[in-house]
Structure 1
């Protein structure tokens, strides 16, 4: 299985603290860590660790953050020939706060990600494709329009997109907030729609009718950063492997659960053996 991911590449700075600050509040006593991230890169690595061959298309800056931002992608064998170094913009950065229960707040400075233009894409994308919305929308829509195989669209963060892209997607993945943003438009096409609901699980729909529902295994959550991206990579791999909707949802929920048990986005992503062990527990 070969998958192309067109998406963001970031370096995450994660402050772990007892509680998340309210507006105007300062919270002290945090510990700071740095991890590679970005929704595109996270989903690429998630799919790779679950057994797919993955090609990443994106952009980083010509700076000291580019190497650590792509280090795990390279270490696990994600193909990076489609990643361009941008001389005019820095590598994207995410500033993340995580509380003692694993909940998080995220602020993203997109940097070079906002310079990924349609001209950087191949004329045709002849493998299954995963996209998200952390790149310019015109680029995401161009990628979907050039795809000839299975297309997974993770509508995160929520933003206006064309009805044509929603209809073209074979799989749409959203959380509850994103589902509310798009409303019934999610269900106008012929593809499947998955709505994730955190610790309560996820549901799969076809033309608005629920096909399957799964809940994640019980775990002790440390950090939910990257769990959604783990889910996207896993549900795509599962469906491409031909799993039935119920089995695919359970597989993806388990991948997301594993990601919650460790700190960081990419450093928390599960291997195939870990997902299957959790399912068998």
Structure 2
């Protein structure tokens, strides 16, 4: 595949099966809404990002946990089909992680995640699977926090780069950010981390700069239809988003993160990696489901070649 290098992206994170219901509108508390259809789809932020990185051209190893139930096979189906290294995936005596998702006619969604086997993931699984100098460790917050922190520490000790997607946002030990080379947040997560750190009131661009300077890392903020902004060593990069009418936004953020990590792992510059990631995330909104919607790299590069997503400095 294009872009594949010797650097491996090791994804330490959740593996779920998504139960996706479609309804005209999202329900309010206490309200029952009559839906229209139900689908089963592989998901989990870890699994989604692993598949996105693989489809972007990276060599990927998945480290995670699934149950011993029928959902486990479904949850791993597309990762296996993509020939992702699943030797670091353990079977547990809990149910496979499950996400209950409702998507409305506007493409907006509500999600409840039941972690199941994901709650058993520890850094011991990463140590056993292995991570080497020059590799990239990709993390999210959908598995236990002590394991995430220990995994980041182990990766740094082994000379690997650490990419953290601060999603879904939960309270965490800020010491984690000191072990991160690239931090990726959306608007909600950016606001959450600023509140946690008791940062001054800042607009989005200044907030990203403040975070980058405070922890000495690269910070990337995705801004939905407004594209994305990043700050690295004081240098600001912005990219626009595809102008689309979304069908389903589930998995778009994970697509961005996986493609971004792949771009960096193959030695590309931040601007190019963000540009490709933004186009991939936009294309992911045109198809229902998380993993099924992740585009292959040739499709993304075709849109880039057509001038679909110019970078604005």
Matched with 2:203 is none
**Unaligned stretches of 5+ in structure 1?**
none
* 1:206-221 pair list within 5 angstroms: 206=232, 209=234, 211-221=236-246
Aligned partner (choices 237, 241, 245) of residue 262 of structure 2: 237
- 1:63-107 alpha-carbon deviations (Å, 9 max, x no partner): 0110000000000101110000002x1000000011112111100
Q: Would you say 1:114 and 2:140 are equivalent positions?
A: no
Cα shift at 1:120: 2.3
Matched with 2:45 is 39
- 1:176-212 alpha-carbon deviations (Å, 9 max, x no partner): 11111111584322210011111111110236x5611
Q: What do you get for the CA RMSD once the two structures are aligned?
A: 1.5
Matched with 2:231 is 205
Aligned partner (choices 301, 304, 307) of residue 276 of structure 1: 301
Matched with 2:91 is 85
Q: What SS does the aligned partner of 2:70 have?
A: coil
- TM-score (norm: length of structure 2): 0.86
Q: C-alpha distance in 1, partners of 2:37/2:269?
A: 42
Q: Would you say 1:95 and 2:103 are equivalent positions?
A: no
Q: C-alpha distance in 1, partners of 2:236/2:178?
A: 18
Cα shift at 1:280: 2.4
Decide whether the 8 Å contact of 2:246 with 2:286 is kept in 1: yes
Q: Which of 1-10 and 179-188 deviates more?
A: 179-188
Decide whether the 8 Å contact of 1:203 with 1:210 is kept in 2: no
Aligned partner (choices 81, 85, 110) of residue 105 of structure 1: 110
**Unaligned stretches of 5+ in structure 2?**
200-209, 307-313
Cα shift at 1:113: 0.2
Q: Would you say 1:159 and 2:170 are equivalent positions?
A: yes
Aligned partner (choices 279, 287, 292) of residue 254 of structure 1: 279
Pairs aligned (count): 279
- TM-score (norm: length of structure 1): 0.95
